[in-house]
Amino acid sequence: MSTTLIIILSIIAVVIVITAMYFSYNNKEVALRMESEAQLGKIETVRDRMFQIIREKANVSSEYRKAFNEIYPKIIARRYKEGGELMKWIQEANPYFDPSLYQDVMNSIEVQRTAFTSEQNRMLDILNQRKTLINSYPSKWFVKNKTEIGYEPISASDTKRVMATRVDDYTFSY
């Protein structure tokens, strides 16, 4: 083989490798951008679902409480009108307000908030992968779309204040 042929084949091989790297890194960037867009939809869906579940469960327990508050005084009032109140009170089973409904609402809130946080953390992971891709070598040389993906985590106003001031002096009060 002549040296000219070796040089030509080497140049072709380098061009093929560079072209493959160009497409590979750009495809990775596109995939991460698309995944971040899909993740935004997931975050919205999880947040919507979270509030629907909490609203529905809280409504069930508040309806239960309202019904209990309406029925219980009437039952007690009838007992004391008829005589032998103390014996009836002891012998009859009284209606019972089940506080486990509130525990169920609290558990649902915790589970749904955890799911929401998990989806936001996934979004931050995607953004971190993309930022690493567009800022590290050699991918930095090949990725053409370096436009920032705008996303700010959803958080409480108190958390935003703490992050801005870098002071967390919150105390719990009951």
Compute the Cα dihedral for 82, 84, 87, 90 and give only its sign. positive
Q: What is the percent of the chain where pLDDT is above 70?
A: 74
Whether 11 and 94 have beta carbons less than 8 Å apart is answered as no
Averaged pLDDT for residues 160-173? 77
What is the C-alpha to C-alpha distance for residues 13 and 32, in angstroms, rounded to an integer? 28
Check pLDDT > 60 for residue 80: no
Q: What is the mean pLDDT of residues 31-36?
A: 94
* pLDDT > 60? residue 162: yes
Q: Residue 140 has which token pair?
A: 């930095």
Instruction: Judge whether residue 113 has pLDDT over 70.
Output: yes
Query: Is the pLDDT confidence value at 119 over 70?
Result: yes
Q: Read out DSSP for 59-80?
A: HHHHHHHHHHHHHHHHHHHHHH
CA distance 43 to 123: 8
Highest mean pLDDT among 67-71, 112-116, 127-131, 147-151: 127-131
Domain ranges in the chain?
Answer: 3-142
> Rounded to whole angstroms, how far apart are CA atoms 26 and 44?
27
Q: What is the mean pLDDT of residues 102-127?
A: 86
Tens digit of each residue's pLDDT (9 = 90 or more) over 44-79: 888 888 888 877 777 766 666 666 666 656 555 555
pLDDT of residue 158: 78
Burial 130-141 (b: 16+ CB within 10 A, else e): beebbeeeebee
